[in-house]
Amino acid sequence: MLRRSLENRDAQTRQLQDAVTNVEKHFGELCQIFAAYVRKTARLRDKADLLVNEINVYASTETPKLKQGLKTFADEFAKLQDYRQAEVERLEAKVVEPLKAYGTIVKMKRAETELQRATMDAARTTRHLEETIDSFEKQKIKDIKAHFSVPSACWPTLQTIFSEFITIEMLFHGKALEVYTAAYQNIQKIDEEEDLEVFRNSLYPPDYSSRLDIVRANSKSPLQRSLSAKYPPVD
CB-CB contact of 80 with 176 (8 Å): yes
d(CA 121, CA 129): 12
Examine the pLDDT at 91 and tell me if it is beyond 90: yes
Rounded to an integer, the average pLDDT of 53-79 is 93
- Give the mean model confidence (pLDDT) for residues 152-172: 80
Closest by CA position to 165, among listed 81, 95, 89: 95
What pTM did the predictor assign? 0.64
> Where residue 151 falls among pLDDT bands split at 50, 70, 90?
very low
Please tell me which of 111-115, 196-200, 230-234 the model is most confident about, judged by mean pLDDT: 196-200
Choose among 134, 181, 161: nearest CA to 35: 161
* Res 179: pLDDT: 95
